[in-house]
Amino acid sequence: MIVTLIVLCEVAFWVLLAAGLALRYLAKKPRLGAGVLLCEPLLEVVLLVVTAIDLKNGAQPDWKHGLAAVYIGFTVGLGHSTIRWVDSWVAHRFAGAPRPVKPPKYGMARAAHEWKVAGRWTVAAVTALALLQAAVWYVGGDGDVSSLQAWQQTMLFVIGINVVIAGSYTLFPKREPAGR
């Protein structure tokens, strides 16, 4: 049931995004479009509540409950930037806005961009870690929480990978080709 709900939340995320942007740019109703976009966080609240109810009703915590926490974390950390990115492309395509600026390719500007990306991923992973720890405490000593703890290790790995990537751009900045 949890996996089905996660899939439904992901589909609903993109449907609400499309509907909100269609209202904003095609129907010329920006306030209504913004209202639809503001409904996005409700999806995560529903998923969080259903997951908590499932655990409260005695379900053994497993990878599905961990995946729900990770999904919510990633939506918190990456959802806003995803919405902003799609919005800028739709505004460009349908409202005559300028083409979205591409991230820098070279030097410290690229390193700064990578640190911002790493920051978003870190927020996502830390949010997931907090939700996973809350689930561990919620289940208490009565249940096997090893699958939730495995997800916590994965989130620490995600943070580490992003810090390594951003750090590599800082220590070894990509140089602009000589012909430019």
Residue 99 φ then ψ, to 5°: -60, 135
What is the mean pLDDT of the segment spanning 81-104?
94
Segment (H or E) for 120: helix 107-139
DSSP 38: T
Measure Cα distances from 89 to 64, 83, 86, 113, 115 in Å: 33, 10, 5, 19, 23
pLDDT of 15-63, one tens digit each? 999 999 999 999 999 999 999 999 999 999 999 999 999 988 888 889 9
The answer to whether 60 and 99 are in contact (CB under 8 A) is no
Give the pair of three-digit tokens for residue 61.
């915590």
